[in-house]
Amino acid sequence: MATTTHNDTPAPEDAGAASTVERLEQLLEEWRARIDELLVQADLASKDIRDSVQSKAAAAQNAYLAAVNRLKELPKDAGANIGSARDGVDKLIGDMRDAYQSAESAIRRGSSD
């Protein structure tokens, strides 16, 4: 149960958990915009690299969706559990970053040919 002060504001550990979740949500929204832009670039790419880029972008999207779902499953008063949850989301963000960079590299290679 969440600890509150006399004026019914969240206790510091709850505020820290909420702040962490908010930062992760913001980071995921930034990645969502990057992935959307990547998909636009994939659509504009030549047909021979389009399939490769789209599959790599799909992997980034899947990692994004998994991270969003993981955050939604967190109770708002996660408290001590926020560390392990954050680690899980951080891993998903790393997977998303790797897939994104791979797709971006394929687009750059295709553009230079």
Express each pLDDT in 2-58 by its tens digit.
Answer: 444 444 444 445 556 678 788 888 999 999 899 888 888 877 777 777 777 888 888
Within 10 angstroms of residue 45's Cβ, the number of other Cβ atoms is 19
The first and second tokens of residue 46, run together, are: 């030549």
Let me know: does 63 contact 93? Beta carbons within 8 Å.
yes
* 80-89 pLDDT per residue, tens: 567 777 788 8
Q: How far apart are CA 103 and CA 53, in angstroms?
A: 5
Which residues touch 74 (CB under 8 Å, ≥6 apart)?
17, 21, 81, 82, 85
* Across 96-109, average pLDDT: 86
The pLDDT of residue 30: 92
The pLDDT of residue 77: 54
Q: How far apart are CA 99 and CA 5, in angstroms?
A: 44
Q: How far apart are CA 92 and CA 113, in angstroms?
A: 32
The pLDDT of residue 76: 59
Q: Which residue has the higher pLDDT, 94 or 82?
A: 94
The DSSP code for 94 is H
The first and second tokens of residue 94, run together, are: 């790393």
Q: Hey, CA dihedral for 32, 35, 37, 43, is it positive or negative?
A: negative
The DSSP code for 75 is -
* Across 49-77, average pLDDT: 81
